[in-house]
Chain A
Amino acid sequence: MTSGRSHMGRVLPLGRDASSRYGAWIVAATVYVAALGLAAAMAIASAEQSWRGTFAGRISVQVPASPDGTENRVAETVALLLATPAIEEAVPIDEAVSRALLEPWLGAGPGLDALPLPTLIDVRLRRGTELDIVALEVALDAAVPGTRIDEHGLWLERVLRFTRALQAFGAALAALFALTAVATAVFATRAGLAAHGEAIGIMRLVGARDAGIARQFVAHSRNLAIKGGIVGCALAAATLFLLGRFAPGGTALMLPEMTLSPMQWGALAGLPLVVTALGMASARLTVMRALSRAG
């Protein structure tokens, strides 16, 4: 036996309203942009973690090239570094690697080979210890004049400030477009209330409860949001997949890979659910307030 509720959809045919015809597509478009914004914010957060992991606890030491023999100066510097208690590891970067890194900018050939390059020493700090950078720099300069320490910290701080701004922008974009999707549900509800005012009046006259009338709008809003949300999210997932495939490798742009973890993909998939829940709640609130004003 079926319930009368299943037939109530015919009393208020909200699905046939003009606003419903385009509503799902508007929701799809807004969810699409919101999902991309959210994905960007999450990918940048991952990248930030990766940067922190790469650069935290490390410094670089630059030993200038010298006609007197760079190898001895590098060996002396490494010995001094390893003698420092706060330093766990000091590994000179092979000259060929340094030249390869410069090749995309300066071009290969005799010009690059003739260029005197400083030797870089990648230094890993010992965890839980404090390094006196100034004292180390003074000691290094005294032993091997011209040696410089690159701390990364300032550069990293600037980069992180920028990525945090990007994250905030992505999150704000996601929130703005999610709210736009909700606003679409509210406008569709208002249009439905206006278009079916007479039928709603008759329903109330025969004893329909406001909550029962609101339920039909909530169901309509749910259908709009689910349809639009799934389409928007699927398109966003496809876009992210394609971007991932066509993006150059991380080292080419000196950027870490900006990928999403399974949990972040889950959060993205939850976006339609959030939009649907907000749309349903807004539709109910809109109807109940309108009916309350009507008396």
Chain B
Amino acid sequence: MAAEKEIVRLENVGLQYGSGPEVLRDISLSLAAGSFHFLTGASGAGKTSLLRLLYLAVRPSRGSLHLFDQDVSSIGRKQKPALRRRIGVVSREFGLIAHLTAAENVALPLRVSNARETQIRDYVTELLRWVGLGQDLDELPSALSDVQKQRVAIARAVIGRPDLLLADEPTGSVDDNAAIRLIHLLEELHKVGTTVLVATHNDSLVNRFGHPAYALDGGEMRRVGRVAGIRGARRPG
């Protein structure tokens, strides 16, 4: 059987900010195309740093990072936009532009790609309806609840039909029911072939959905597998 196509591959990656200590050490990780993974770990474990590596906000201090079969460990500035357009990012703080409406925020990835306005209008309306915000197209983020903001952020992350979706604590500021509905939304994207990696410190959420999980502890990848099945397990050595 042919090997599954890898969207992400990290080999012995280390990350250091300036001259500080390494916040990620010897990280090796592989995400197959169309997979859904959780990335767990306590606050400060390095989840956000790992995601920042994956959406090219920082470069690894050592090791190799491959995205879409391309070594991006030392990629140039000019090559980043094309790769970033293949990656959707949902951040913990929503990352919405305060003076733009929900529709304008969602449209942003298409606008920076110079898509046609008619196409943008159709896609944005469709996506905001899909996330349940069909009536809130013209609302500013300040008029939306945290759950609604997170839905706008998800709509913006997926409007460009990304190959890889990275979500950093997308459920961090919503209640359990809303969190479950948000993960269901991400699962729908996964069903259409998007590779999804969700960073969360919420173990019960990870257990409920049963997708494979990578776990970070103090900057090291300690456990691999479903949280329920690997609790207490340690990497050999």
A binding-site residues for B, Cβ under 8 Å: 1-5, 7-8, 10-11, 13, 198-199, 202-210, 212, 291-292, 295
Nearest-neighbour CB distance to chain A for B96, whole angstroms, equals: 8
**In the complex, what residue of chain A is closest to B87 when comparing beta carbons?**
A207
Chain B positions within 8 Å of A206 at CB level: 84-85, 89, 108-109, 112, 156, 160
| CA of A212 to CA of B59, assembled, Å | 23
A204: chain B residues at CB < 8 Å are: 80-81, 84
B144 interfacial contact with A, CB 8 Å: no
Give the residue among B55, B57, B107, B111 with the most A Cβ atoms within 10 A: B111
Q: Which of A10, A202, A205, A295 is B77 in contact with, Cβ under 8 Å? A: A295
**Contacts A3-B114, A4-B110 given: A208-B81 contact, CB under 8 Å?**
yes
**Is A8 within 8 A of B111, CB to CB?**
yes
**How many residues on B have C-beta within 8 angstroms of the other chain's C-beta atoms?**
33
> Which of B's residues lie within 8 Å of A, judged by CB?
55, 57-59, 77-78, 80-82, 84-85, 89, 95-97, 99-100, 104, 107-118, 120, 156, 160
Given contacts A5-B114, A10-B104, A11-B108, contact A207 B99 (CB under 8 A): no
With CB as the reference atom, state the residue of chain B lying closest to A213.
B112
New A-B pairs, 12, CB < 8 Å, besides A3-B117, A209-B78, A295-B77: A4-B111, A5-B111, A10-B104, A11-B97, A13-B99, A202-B108, A206-B84, A206-B85, A206-B156, A210-B81, A212-B112, A295-B59
| A to B CB contacts below 8 Å, 5 in the list | A4-B114, A7-B111, A10-B99, A209-B78, A212-B112
- Cα distance A199–B116 in the bound complex, in angstroms: 22
B108's nearest neighbour on chain A, judged by CB, is A206
Set of chain B residues within 8 Å of A210, measured between Cβ atoms: 77-78, 81
Rounded to whole angstroms, the CA-CA distance of A205 and B94 in the bound complex is: 12
Whose C-beta in chain B lies nearest to the C-beta of A5?
B114
Indicate if the CB atoms of B109 and A11 lie closer than 8 Å: no
- Collect the chain A residues with CB atoms within 8 Å of residue B80's CB: 204
Contact A207 B113 (CB under 8 A): yes
Q: Are B117 and A205 in contact (CB under 8 A)?
A: no
Contact of A207 among B82, B95, B117, B118 (CB under 8 A): B82
Pairwise interchain contact B77-A11, C-beta atoms closer than 8 A: no
Name the residue in B82, B96, B109 with the highest tally of chain A Cβ atoms < 10 Å from its Cβ: B109
In order of increasing CB-CB distance, the 5 nearest A-B pairs are A207-B85, A4-B111, A208-B112, A206-B109, A207-B84
Interface centre among A13, A206, A209 (most CB of B within 10 A): A206
Cβ distance A98 to chain B, nearest Cβ, rounded Å: 78
CB distance from A188 to the nearest CB of B (A): 19
Q: Which residues of A contact B104 (CB under 8 A)?
A: 7, 10-11
Q: How far is the CB of B105 from chain A (nearest CB, A)?
A: 9
User: B58, B84, B160 — which one has the most chain A CB atoms within 10 A of its CB?
Assistant: B84
Q: Is the CB of B97 within 8 A of A202?
A: yes
B84 touches A205 (CB 8 A): yes
Residue of B nearest to A13 (CB): B99
With a cutoff of 8 Å between Cβ atoms, the chain B residues found around residue A3 in the complex are 114, 116-117
Residue ID in chain B nearest A2 by CB atoms: B117
A1 touches B118 (CB 8 A): yes
Please state if B97 and A205 are interface contacts (CB–CB under 8 Å). no
Shortest beta-carbon distance, A20 to chain B, in Å? 15
B211 to chain A, nearest CB (A): 24
- Tell me the bound Cα distance from A240 to B95 in angstroms: 54
Task: Select from chain A the residue with minimum beta-carbon distance to B101.
Answer: A10
Q: Beyond A207-B81, A207-B85, A295-B77, is A11–B111 a contact (Cβ under 8 Å)? A: yes
B117 and A7: CB pair below 8 A?
yes
Known: A204-B84, A205-B89, A206-B160. A4 touches B113 (CB 8 A): yes
Contact A205 B160 (CB under 8 A): no
Hey, which chain B residues are within 8 Å of A205, CB to CB? 55, 57, 84, 89, 95
Name the distance in Å between A212's Cβ and chain B's nearest Cβ.
Answer: 6
Provided the pairs A11-B100, A210-B77 are in contact, do residues A4 and B160 lie with their beta carbons within 8 angstroms? no
The winner among A2, A203, A204, A207 for most chain B CB atoms within 10 A is A207
The smallest beta-carbon distance between A277 and chain B, in angstroms, is 25
A295 to B79, CA, bound (A): 12
Chain B residues with CB below 8 A from A13, complex form: 99
Which residues in A have their C-beta under 8 angstroms from that of B59? 295
The residue in chain B whose Cβ has the minimal distance to the Cβ of A199 is: B97
Question: How distant is A291 from chain B, measured CB to nearest CB, in Å?
Answer: 8
Residues of B within 8 A of A207 (CB): 81-82, 84-85, 109, 112-113, 160
A residues near B85, Cβ cutoff 8 Å: 206-207
Give chain B nearest CB distance to A39 CB in angstroms. Answer: 43
Q: Which of B57, B82, B112 has the most CB of A within 10 A?
A: B112
